[in-house]
Amino acid sequence: MVASAALAMAAPLTLGAAGDAGAAGDHPIVFARYTAAAPVEDLYAVSAGGGAPVKLTHTSTVSDVMPSWSPDGKRVAFARYGSGGAIDGIWTMKTMGGELKAVPGTKGASDPAWSPDGKRIAYAKPVGTQREIYVSGIDGTSSTRLTHTTADDLHPTWSPDGKYLAFNRADAGGHSRVMRIRLSTLAQTAVTAPGSHDWTPDWSHSDRIAFSRVDSSGFAHLYVIRPDGSGLHRITAARLNDKNPSWSPDGSRLVFTRGGADDGDPEHLYLVRADGTGLTQLTKTDSHDLEADWRP
């Protein structure tokens, strides 16, 4: 795909005086990147208008992945992997990488998602051989396990009012569907049908859930659905793999990773409107750009 001329002329990411990305009304996108020359992931931020990404972490021996903005845009939560592939847990940092803090009690956890009120983090954590969804305070206090299944529960995302989480549940048969859980009662409802291959949901402020589905084409495409399971429609349809969607603050667009059929192919960030129009390539280097999160 060829990016628009506007992207090529876009200004680079603006940094505020306090070192926070996204001054002057910009809502930057944070993501993980690795390359053949630097196979350990670091976090980067890029303006939604394009320009050169800014490197946020500089870790040669650990991988920083799965970033999630705080609702005020001042901090980022992420998962940090130690040497040997072990997961060290959830950390938070200031936007430009300073003031790192580990979230106690999250060893082995992944997929952090910052709550709309800024007080809690949801994440997936190993219990035996599977992962379950937990919620805790930013400081690790009041950790609560929400799911108790024999499946893998992954990638939680908050409803705009903070009363629900959506997540994907992967079973032993290789299928995965989007689920919804009410935090006050722990009542769970299936959002997508059984037998699906649905991954990495993201819940918008306009109360829609985007996710990646491997459909009958054999490729992963982006879909949108209402939280009650109605209104399912497909957004992308290329013979490429589209994954990890994240909504813009106004719910009009999505950023996502697009890659080829081979894991060795580069993976780039793209933008698309919620109706499937206006596809634009955001990053272009020979890299793997993954797990983007759009600043609220």
Read off the tokens for 275.
């109706």
66 or 6, greater pLDDT: 66
Report, in angstroms and rounded to the nearest whole number, the Rg of the chain calculated over CA atoms: 18
Average pLDDT for 88-97: 90
Give the model's confidence band at 84: pLDDT under 50 very low, under 70 low, under 90 confident, else very high: low
What's the pLDDT band for 26 if we cut at 50, 70, 90? confident
Confidence bin at 86 (pLDDT 50/70/90): low
Q: Averaged over 90-104, what is the pLDDT?
A: 90
- What pLDDT, on a 0 to 100 scale, did the predictor assign at position 61? 86
Average pLDDT over residues 52-58: 94
Domain range holding 247?
Answer: 5-294
Model's pTM, two decimal places?
A: 0.90
Tell me how many domains the chain contains.
1
- The token duo for 117 is 């009120």
State yes or no: pLDDT of 18 exceeds 60. no
Give CA–CA dist 238/242, Å, rounded.
8
In the predicted structure, residue 142 carries a pLDDT above the cut 90 = yes
Distance CA 156, CA 145 (A): 13
- Please check the confidence at residue 216 and state whether its pLDDT lies above 80: yes
Angle subtended at Cα 61 by Cα 68 and Cα 257, rounded to the nearest 5 degrees:
40
Low-confidence winner among 7-16, 92-101, 232-241 (lowest mean pLDDT): 7-16
- pLDDT at residue number 158: 98
Query: Do the Cβ atoms of 65 and 81 come closer than 8 Å?
Result: yes
Taking residues 250-275, what's their average pLDDT? Answer: 90
Confidence at residue 98, expressed as pLDDT on a 0 to 100 scale: 83
Task: Write down the pLDDT at residue 13.
Answer: 47
- Region 237-249 average pLDDT: 96
| Single-letter amino acid code for the residue at 272 | V
Q: Does position 234 have pLDDT exceeding 50, yes or no?
A: yes
CATH number at residue 193: 2.120.10.30
pLDDT at 22: 38
Please report the pLDDT score of residue 19 as a whole number.
Answer: 38
pLDDT-based confidence at residue 265 (cuts at 50, 70, 90): confident
Measured at the CA of 243, the angle between CA 242 and CA 244, to 5 degrees, comes to 145
Measured at the alpha carbon of residue 295, what is the angle toward residues 292 and 296, in degrees to the nearest 5? 130
- pLDDT of residue 17 exceeding 50: no
pLDDT at 148 over 70: yes
pLDDT, tens only, 174-212:
999 999 999 999 999 999 999 999 999 999 998 999 999
